[in-house]
Structure 1
Amino acid sequence: MSIRTEVKGAAYWITFDNAKRKNAISSKMYEELCQAMDEAEGMEETLLTVITGDGEYYSSGNDFSPAETAGVDHGDLDYEAGYSRFMRRLIRHTKVLVALVNGPAIGIAATTLGLFDYLVCSDSTYISTPFPTLGVCPEGTSSVVFERIMGTSNATEMLLFGEPMNASQALQHGFVSHVFPKAEFRQKAAALVEKFAKLPKHSVLASKELCRGQKWRREMLACHNEEYDLLRKLFVHEDTINLIMNRFMKAKV
């Protein structure tokens, strides 16, 4: 139950390695993700930071098991969830962020995809944002980014109504650049990374800074802060507590 990291040329690979729990992200994994992002950021030779998942899922999102949620007080303003620290790393990252979405992406694993610079997915992928069924609200800057990518109506369908988006829709809406067959996904996605990693680093990173520089980062950080403030309030709402308990706490873990 962890993450794996590997450096391949100019690409720093981060893999969710919790396949038995559909790559649900625990607090320990968030700590490791933040450390990995910091390491990739600090490596002079790194051009691409690549995130993918082991097994069938990209990630099923936050781990809401009793062991993970016990003793957490979202109403405590001095408490910051691991996902929030990871969010700040994603937003401030200066290397090119690449998501190889090998399977379903749910919750925070889905919403943060809008912060990546380049995405491809397998045909087994679906993007799920089940906020209304849990009594929470959009996060991962999706309240702003999803509308920009796919338009108001499609974003509303996902964020307000909780309707999933399949791989074909993700391609149609411009959310991903390619959809590869599941059986060929690893090979074809890795070939793209290898190809892009050979590009001149100084030029590509300068272009990323032009497209997503300090102005963009300030906007995304402000969006994250606003979403997180609302999430804090909703997580202590009685109806939300009951919905999450019924969904996760009674499940076998």
Structure 2
Amino acid sequence: MSLLIHDENRVRTLTLDRPDALNAFNEALYDATAEALLDAAADPTVAVVLLTGNGRAFSAGTDLLEMHQLATNPDFARGKHGFLGLIDALVAFPKPLVCAVNGLGLGIGATILGFADLAFMSTTAKLKCPFTSLGVAPEAASSYLFPQLLGRQNAAWMLLSAEWVGAAEAHEMGLVWKVCEPDDLLPTARKHAELLAARPISSLIAVKRTMVEPVRAEIAAARERENAAFAELMGGPANLEALTAFAEGREPDFTNLPEGW
């Protein structure tokens, strides 16, 4: 099982558990996480979900070896929910979502913070949105949520540069709420999650709904724009060069692509 689930004091902790793959999301983990969020949403005994990772990574994003198969093999078997289904579950999740970023966070391991109600980050963790280094477009409504959360220029740097951002910088930008020493991360995140979980679930849901409802249409529109751009770019010259370079263990070279790429 690539996802660990633990219930305590009305907090359901979801731990991404593919440490050998830096908790990268393959189709199975996308499905398991989406299912877990749907189950937690419907469970009247769960007030808050706490999401973290096992090992030295929070999540390395989409499994690039599997992405290469998806890009090159039309018969590759997709999961029940997949990436888009996980984002659907995050958008719809009606209860507080607390993220504890324990290590490396790439791609969805960073953009998922746009859906966090509270985000905590280890001092040793770092984040990257690698879209331009993969020759693709933003994801998970980050093109809308990040400018709202971080301001335009911080969001532009995160989404355009494909560079690492450390914990102090992520905190200064407003991407995470609190930074903790590694050993303090989970206890601190859990303490805050349990404080929320002691409140009435109906009230928690009402507060989150009134905060999220005004931006639902913008999130949906951003996802449509991103998905269209991603579909156009995935499998294109830049993306195939990036994925081939990853599979071959080398740095991609985007300088000899066709004009406009």
TM-score, structure 2 as length reference: 0.88
Letter of the aligned partner of 2:199 in structure 1? L
In the other structure, the counterpart of 1:222 is: 221
In the other structure, the counterpart of 1:210 is: 210
> 8 Å contact 2:99–2:119 — kept in the other structure?
yes
Structure 1: distance between partners of 2:84 and 2:190: 29
Q: CA deviation at 1:74?
A: 9.2
Structure 2: distance between partners of 1:116 and 1:109: 12
Structure 1: distance between partners of 2:116 and 2:221: 17
| SS in structure 2 at match of 1:119 | strand
In the other structure, the counterpart of 1:250 is: 248
**Aligned-residue CA RMSD (Å):** 2.2
Structure 1: distance between partners of 2:72 and 2:203: 45
In the other structure, the counterpart of 2:122 is: 122
Q: CA deviation at 1:188?
A: 2.2
Q: CA deviation at 1:217?
A: 2.3
Structure 2: distance between partners of 1:179 and 1:86: 26
Structure 1: distance between partners of 2:7 and 2:119: 19
In the other structure, the counterpart of 2:55 is: 55
Gaps of 5+ in 1: none
- What is the percent sequence identity of the aligned residues? 27
Structure 2: distance between partners of 1:46 and 1:3: 17
In the other structure, the counterpart of 1:82 is: 82
Structure 1: distance between partners of 2:101 and 2:74: 33
Q: CA deviation at 1:194?
A: 2.0
| SS in structure 2 at match of 1:70 | helix
| SS in structure 1 at match of 2:52 | strand
In the other structure, the counterpart of 2:235 is: 236
In the other structure, the counterpart of 2:9 is: 9
Structure 1: distance between partners of 2:232 and 2:179: 37
Residues 7-33 of structure 1: per-residue CA shift (max 9 Å, x gap): 222212111000111111111111111
Alignment coverage as a number of residue pairs:
247
Letter of the aligned partner of 1:229 in structure 2? A
Letter of the aligned partner of 1:250 in structure 2? E
Q: CA deviation at 1:38?
A: 1.2
> 8 Å contact 1:101–1:122 — kept in the other structure?
yes
In the other structure, the counterpart of 2:39 is: 39
| SS in structure 2 at match of 1:160 | helix
In the other structure, the counterpart of 1:178 is: 178
Q: CA deviation at 1:60?
A: 0.6
| SS in structure 1 at match of 2:145 | helix
Letter of the aligned partner of 1:230 in structure 2? A
| SS in structure 1 at match of 2:136 | coil
Q: CA deviation at 1:176?
A: 1.3
Q: CA deviation at 1:71?
A: 5.0
In the other structure, the counterpart of 1:25 is: 25
> 8 Å contact 1:92–1:217 — kept in the other structure?
no
Shift of the 28–149 alpha-carbon distance from structure 1 to 2, 3 Å rule, reads same
Shift of the 168–71 alpha-carbon distance from structure 1 to 2, 3 Å rule, reads closer
Shift of the 242–12 alpha-carbon distance from structure 1 to 2, 3 Å rule, reads same
Letter of the aligned partner of 2:84 in structure 1? S
> 8 Å contact 1:91–1:221 — kept in the other structure?
no
